[in-house]
Amino acid sequence: MKNKIEQLKKEKNAVIMAHYYAPCEVQEVADYIGDSFYLAKIAKQSDAEIIVFCGVQFMGESAKTLNPHKKVLMPDPTADCAMAHMVKNGIIDEMKSKYDDLAVVCYINSTAELKAVSDVCVTSSNAVKIVKALPNKNIFFIPDRNLGRFVAQQVPEKNIILNDGCCPIHAKITAKQITAEKEKHPNAKVLSHPECEAEVLKLSDYIGSTADIIAFAKTDESSEYIICTEDGVNYKLITDNPHKRFYYPLPHPCCQDMKLNTLESVLSVLEKEDKEITISEDIRLKALIPLERMLELGL
Ligand code: 13P
Ligand code: SF4
């Protein structure tokens, strides 16, 4: 299957982009692997005719929004991020009516429709920097309350209003699970994604996006880590650091939607060129504004 995929990529001028949470065999055939910010940047720069996006719907949609003339295919378009929908109807208008200078800051893990009514997008690797750079005092941060709270702590000069959404996978990680791992591995550092709950972040030695966690583990002098994010990152962590040990809360955090990206489904979309992402032009043009603003402010 891997050979066929390589051959089709060349024949069709296609590239495969995979998030760090995709299964390891899919990361192995990918041309670009990264966190949400890196993949959005690469999608904008790519000159391939076809992008096979191995992630979840909001990532494929962002790639299509930035590349209207390319075919963006998803191996399984049902792969969705539960958090991307967690904003109640009407709440953005309600917040806008309360604050004159409100900026709606939209975590990239959201639908194209939500991006279309937002002022700027952020990812977990640039949210603090972008919120700091905004002229607005009042910020409505959607959809993730955990990333929003983390940003609010780093940017105390702003009034950050939180929305009640979260990632069901990260929210399941508990302080008790971390303490249990710490007892087994007392020298291990705790590295966490900001989508984790406050009680987990409090026990963490380092907090960052998937790419930040991977970069930290590579340069840090310790040899053992407890990783509080989806266990797909393990592939890159052990490839980069074969002599270090990585432990996960039990049960391992696993995003089933990310795991819908299989070698079989990658090969099938490359062969058939089906499962193309489409977005209405009206929504795309509106969603493009906050995405491009993120690319400008986030670099
Ligand atoms: P990153 O932007 O850190 O890759 O995170 C994406 C994601 O879905 C986290 O759950
Ligand atoms: Fe969404 Fe959570 Fe899966 Fe990330 S891990 S894609 S935030 S459901």
Is 262 exposed, middle or buried (CB count within 10 Å of its CB: 0-12, 13-18, 19+)? middle
CA distance 112 to 108: 9
- pLDDT given at position 53: 97
Tell how far the Cα of 222 is from the centroid of ligand 1, in angstroms: 24
Give the closest residue (by CA) to ligand 2 atom 3: 255
Q: Ligand 2 site: residues with CB under 6 angstroms?
A: 56, 81-83, 109, 167, 169-170, 195, 230, 255, 257-258
Ligand 1 pocket member 46 (CB < 6 A): no
Stretches where the chain sits below pLDDT 70 are none
* Structure confidence at residue 44 (pLDDT): 85
Sheet holding 103-107, edge to edge: 120-122, 103-107, 138-142, 159-162
Query: If you measure from the C-alpha of residue 142 to the centroid of ligand 1, how many angstroms do you get, rounded to a whole number?
Result: 15
Q: Kindly state the tokens that stand for 94.
A: 């309600």
Kindly give the pairing relationship between strand 189-192 and strand 206-207: parallel
pLDDT given for residue 41 in this prediction? 87
Most ligand 1 atoms within 8 A of CB, residue of 32, 193, 228 to mutate: 193
Per-residue confidence (pLDDT) for residue 228, from 0 to 100:
98
- The residue whose CA is least distant from atom 7 of ligand 2 is 167
Residue 151 · residue 186 · CB < 8 Å: no
Taking the CA of residue 169 as reference, the ligand 2 atom at the shortest distance is 2
Place of tokens 């990529």: 9
**Cβ of 251: how many Cβ atoms within 10 Å?**
10
CA distance 54 to 57: 9
| Prediction pTM value | 0.96
Tally of CB atoms within 10 A around 278:
10
Residue 167 Cβ inside 6 Å of ligand 1? The answer reads yes
pLDDT reported for residue 40: 86
Q: How far is the CA of 10 from the centre of ligand 2 (A)?
A: 31
Asked whether the beta carbons of 124 and 167 are under 8 A apart, the reply is no
